[in-house]
Amino acid sequence: MHDAAADEFTGHDSKKQYFWVWGWLLVLTAVEVVLAYRQVFQPVRMLEVLLILSIVKSALIIGYFMHLKFETALMRWMLVLSVTACFIIMYFFFFPDAGRILRLGVH
């Protein structure tokens, strides 16, 4: 048995970059808390900003901590596109209906 995983990790990254990623994740979390606590934006704009920050944080986690950035292009695209497509379909099913219920006043 050889070290396939060792080849994967040590070939193109060092511990230092993981500390940087961790630091950025903490900084982005602090930014989220400050934005929310000071109510910097209106609710809908706040939701958009927080979601964008969450997507950036998740990209850092998936790309570096989960190492997807260093996998083959086929694996990267298959996983990201399939899951993203499912979420987009769910979005177009559910959110217009939620807004419709609110407008109709049906509770």
- Contacts with another protein by CB under 8 A lie at 1-11, 15, 18-19, 22, 25-26, 29, 32-33, 35-37, 39, 43, 46-47, 50-51, 53-54, 57-58, 61-62, 65-67, 70-72, 74-75, 78-79, 82-83, 86-87, 90-91, 94-95, 97-99, 101-102, 105, 107
User: Would you say 68 and 79 are in contact if contact means Cβ atoms under 8 Å apart?
Assistant: yes
Nearest-CA neighbor of 17 among 64, 57, 70? 64
How many Å apart are CA 19 and CA 33, to the nearest integer? 21
Q: How far is the CB of 72 from another protein (least distance, A)?
A: 4
